[in-house]
Amino acid sequence: MWQLLKRLSMGCICGKETIYVDNRKFYIRSHLAEGGFSRIDLIEDDNSNLFALKRINCHNVKDEEIAAKEIDFMKRVKHERIISLECSELVPFKGYQGPNSPQSEALLVMPFYRRGTLFDHVLRIRKRGEFLGEVEVLSLFEQICEGVCALHTLNPSVAHRDLKPHNVLLTDEEEAILMDLGSAALSRPVIDNSRQALVIQDEVNERCSMPYRPPELFNVQIGSGISEKTDIWSLGCTLYAICCGESPFDETYCKGDSIALAVLAGRIKFPTDWPYSDGLKRLINDMLHINAEDRPDIHVVILQISSMLRALENRV
């Protein structure tokens, strides 16, 4: 009797916990993943359709504003290469109430992709001692860039700011879907004083993965010309990781050495058993220029990829 009452008090029927998001009813199937600011649950509706539920813990008004910004970006951008938002809602936190408990929870319902992330896919290949084929590498990377282009061409333009293989999902057809706009921000922020610089630096330190972070975001300065080119650097690291299984700065990070110094040194080491063309290596180097102005914009990157794919197809 006690177990039944306990399940009912949690919103459970027949062992399944129920949750309502924007007046839509879902059942929680299992826990999928957890990050620094959120967790992901697998949920289903009454028709057994599966979804991913992102639950963002909000401890204060600022956290709620950050969650609202992510929701707003997801609603603004409608593109086949960016994960869609089924529904969302900000609700009071109903879990354990302790001194550090959140005050609310942002609930985001999104499609569920059972194949997982691009990072998972690359890791499986590399553990077998193999590499992805160059056509597959370029095709996946082109799809990622198409999603980034959709963000960069919004008005005003938006930068993702946390591009990496871990934030790319794969469909059943092995096509790339960009996810996690929790770090996204306007591409060209105004930095007229030290306070504005500090706010952006704090955001970056919290939400932008260091092995994929561009040099200009390690030390944000007054008057810094931060732009969409921050994403281009991260794309260069992402392409390297698709090829090699890790960012060019992961080794530095694992050793505990300074990534900032490694990034500012600008030396990218390629493995001796590099199985790809020199053109692919040049593309990575082009995106990893220390000076942001020397990096190509997303349109140029997509044109370069298309040209390389055509050349490979003509060779077959």
Active-site positions? 162
* Cα separation values, 237 from 169, 209, 232, 306, Å: 17, 11, 9, 19
Taken as a whole, the chain contains a residue count of: 316
DSSP 8-state code for residue 117: B
Q: Identify the three-state secondary structure at position 170.
A: strand
d(CA 224, CA 216): 8
Which helix (DSSP H) or strand (DSSP E) does residue 50 occupy?
A: strand 50-58
d(CA 216, CA 264): 9
d(CA 143, CA 80): 9
Cis before 156 (ω within 30): yes
d(CA 77, CA 75): 6
